Amino acid sequence: MTLRYGSTRGDAPPLDFADTMLTGLAPDGGLYVPASFPALPDLDGLERYADVAAAVMWPFVEGAIERAAFERIVEDAYASFDHPDVVPLVPLDDRRWLLELFHGPTIAFKDVALQLVGRLFDHFLTERGRRATILVATSGDTGSAAMAATVGRAALDCVVLFPDGGRVSEVQRRQMTTIDAPNVHAVAAAGTFDDCQDLVKAAFADRAFRDEVQLSAMNSINWGRVMAQVVYYVTAARAVRRETGAAPVFSVPTGNFGNVLAGWVAQQMGLDVAGFLVASNRNDILTRWLETGTLTAEPVVPTISPSMDIQVSSNLERLLFDLLGRDGSATAELLREFRAAGHVDAPRPSGWWGARLDDDATRETIAAQWARHEVLLDPHTAVGVGAVDRVEGLPDAPVVCLATAHPAKFPDAVEAATGVRPALPAHYADLLDRPERVEEVAADLAAVEALVRRLVRPAA
């Protein structure tokens, strides 16, 4: 059976999985979602992560790719992780587990989705005799994950713009500038992250340029990313059930809402989940919404968990669409009102909680977990772990805290809280000594377009 995908705003022609992936945003401005949620398959006898992953994702891709080819791609994607369990679940204390999502090439959770999505893009483009240029603006994590997902992919080039005057840490910059591959390019743009984002948006809006270099995005609204993240909710819930006999609460450090939305999808597919705890830093629109029922935009403030410095979480639209009875025009209307007024009353899911931690509380959590358990948490993971102690009314269930980055990705924050500087994993041991390769560009659309034209490989 071939699953079709439609827009959350209800006004775009349905597509199959491959076209959904390659299209990104729907033409009506909405996000693609499956016409219905398939049931979780029978996983009896499946133990290896890649085997579970192929089985869980198959109903989403069936009809767009051969089963054997899909299994090969999944196998290959997760062979890039340096832990045999891919996403190990480790006990933290008598109630909490850490689901370590940072064993991929760039030591943050975006690898789990992008290692797969890069390979799927390459497969579908090659099949169609096409190529694409992935253009990304990054404040840190997304850039290196997109580059690592593109290395070695024949149909893809990748250009990442990061702010030269921004808050990209040395580790994050070097993760981008030390990749030595002919089809990926790190570019330092004059200005801030917002400048980079505006330049990328303007390049996408330039239709002639977009067609000329076949611009494409792999951002967190891409359904393929959500789909890949569903898998670890399934593996973690299964492992917790084996240990405790109970269904877990998931505590999820949240920015663009892609990660926790994948948990919602897993639950809609039949996974037994006791609740979701949405953990925010001071950019707490989601916590306020879960407390009051109103979405109210506030200016973004910088924190020590920068990948969560987001106010308007794009993937929230997919949850709202489900909560509005999958009514596209009601979803479009609600979002229109939100954009116009800056606030809107929005339905809330039951069994969800929200909690916020400011930077002091985040540092306290990092320090406390180090003192008690000799575990180093990165600041994003710490927001999720600390949220469990700060929320009222959570069910008395085991809690799985999603660990979204390796502590060595944010060594300054971790060292400030604990006095210990976390060591990089083996494959990055010499990261600080590797030669850097970086292009520079003015914050100017014509300059960026000229650079991209020069960097991308000509079509074969």
Ligand X SMILES: *Cc1c(COP(=O)(O)O)cnc(C)c1O
**Can residue 224 be called a binding residue for ligand X (CB under 6 A)?**
no
**Can residue 253 be called a binding residue for ligand X (CB under 6 A)?**
yes
Q: Least distance from C-beta 337 to ligand X, angstroms?
A: 23
201 has catalytic annotation: no
**Can residue 290 be called a binding residue for ligand X (CB under 6 A)?**
no
Q: Least distance from C-beta 307 to ligand X, angstroms?
A: 3
Letters for 348-387 (x = contact with ligand X by CB under 6 A, - = none) are --------------------------------x-------
Among 258, 263, 275, 328, binds ligand X (CB under 6 A): 258
Select 111 or 122, whichever has its Cβ closest to ligand X: 111
Select 279 or 456, whichever has its Cβ closest to ligand X: 279
Select 61 or 383, whichever has its Cβ closest to ligand X: 383
**Can residue 255 be called a binding residue for ligand X (CB under 6 A)?**
yes
Q: Least distance from C-beta 460 to ligand X, angstroms?
A: 33
Cβ contacts of 330 within 8 Å, gap of 6 or more:
324
Q: Are 145 and 117 in contact (CB under 8 A)?
A: no
Among 108, 158, 237, 391, binds ligand X (CB under 6 A): 108
Q: Least distance from C-beta 212 to ligand X, angstroms?
A: 30
**Can residue 404 be called a binding residue for ligand X (CB under 6 A)?**
yes
Among 106, 222, 256, 287, binds ligand X (CB under 6 A): 256
Considering only residues 120 to 139 of the shown chain, the ones binding ligand X according to CB under 6 A are none
Q: Least distance from C-beta 242 to ligand X, angstroms?
A: 27
Given the residues 110, 119, 225, 406, select the one marked as catalytic: 110
Q: Least distance from C-beta 102 to ligand X, angstroms?
A: 8
**Can residue 96 be called a binding residue for ligand X (CB under 6 A)?**
no
Residues recognised as catalytic: 110
Q: Site residues (CB under 6 A) for ligand X? A: 108-110, 141, 220, 253-259, 307-308, 380, 404-405
